[in-house]
A and B are shown apart, each in its own frame.
Chain A
């Protein structure tokens, strides 16, 4: 599997599944990150840049480590990071939960 979670601390309520496209893998070139949210829509940001509101997003990503952030009013923010290898498509499924009152 051509992906790895970073050492970012995750809230207990967050479940992250990372899967990657199998070989053959190009030796160079960008990869892709697919973000799916579970539990509702969220504002999705990658590497600090807002990309979409919704339950899914797909972005081309250069090989290397990328930070993913979810936020939504009334919900606990979610942060994680993934490492993309050249040519890989990584599916990241993140659960967003309502914040405690």
Chain B
């Protein structure tokens, strides 16, 4: 009797102002609502409570993520579930999938998302924040992305969308987007970021200028994709790529070829020319 009464009380509480509670409490309520199969109630609570600024990405956050993914999958919002999972796994790649309490569909969705985000590794070039709505975003499918300048002219291009104006949010359907961020004389970088419904993704570029580093020149035969410190920076040949002084990890990869991994050390004001590096045919990244 107590549990059934509690279900009713939960519904009443949500309808009469529980949404004014902290996101952390909403996340907890969302988990509890899911556990009594009140999925329509749970969904807005979970989406509001997942705000990473509201608390640690701990077991409650992971529990909320599983439940959110399961609800979306059950309601045939597979693509939205995928975006949420990619977003979450970029922040917490070591999430252990709960295969005991969630059916294979959830585990499969996690595995797909991990496959997409696994190459993301450490992001040393950008900082990402999220402007989270205080109330549930409802049924809307639009979110937004905004890039922030750091005192220098900044250029940002979203693949398939176009240029972004720094400081101004661009409304976009939820999804995963590739963004090229660059500034004259500074590092440029391709990043992948998620746009969530009702949430504004804010990306800041951590800039370093030529005064603090040098430039990398490298080519390969055949051409390949270049990663510096696990960030995709472009295709070979790469010329005058600005790098902070110090040691960096360099990778050149191409499907069907063995990836080249090495470290390079760039001095201040140095133009480091590595020449043309031959790639060897063999097992490579897909």
Interface residues of A (CB under 8 A from B): 1, 19-22, 34-36, 40-41, 52-58, 89-91
Contact = CB atoms under 8 A, between A and B. Distances in A.
A20 B1 contact: yes
Contact of A91 (B4, B34, B74): B4
A41 B3 CA distance: 20
A19 B2 contact: yes
Contacts of B101: 40-41, 55
Contact of B100 (A41, A58, A91): A41
Contacts, number: 55
A91 B4 CA distance: 7
7 contacts: A19-B1, A21-B5, A34-B4, A58-B39, A91-B3, A91-B4, A91-B7
Contacts of A34: 4, 7, 36-37
A52 B39 CA distance: 12
A22 B103 contact: no
A58 to B, nearest CB: 3
Interface string B65-105: 00000100010000000000000000000000000111101
Interface string B2-21: 11110110000000000000
B14 to A, nearest CB: 15
Contacts of B260: none
B38 interface: yes
B235 to A, nearest CB: 44
Interface residues of B, number: 20
A86 B197 CA distance: 39
Interface of B: 1-5, 7-8, 34-39, 70, 74, 100-103, 105
B7 to A, nearest CB: 7
Contact of A22 (B1, B37, B39, B74): B1
Nearest to B2: A19
A21 B3 CA distance: 8
Contacts of A54: 70, 74, 102-103
Contacts of B4: 19-22, 34, 89-91
A20 B4 CA distance: 6
A54 B37 CA distance: 10
A21 B8 contact: yes
B7 A89 contact: yes
B36 A58 contact: yes
A35 B37 contact: yes
A36 B36 contact: yes
Given A34-B4, A41-B101, A89-B4, 12 more contacts: A22-B5, A34-B37, A36-B35, A40-B100, A41-B102, A52-B74, A53-B105, A54-B70, A55-B102, A56-B34, A58-B37, A89-B7
Ordered nearest first, which 9 A-B pairs have the shortest CB separation?
A58-B37, A53-B103, A56-B37, A21-B4, A40-B100, A91-B3, A89-B4, A19-B1, A41-B103
A53 B101 CA distance: 10
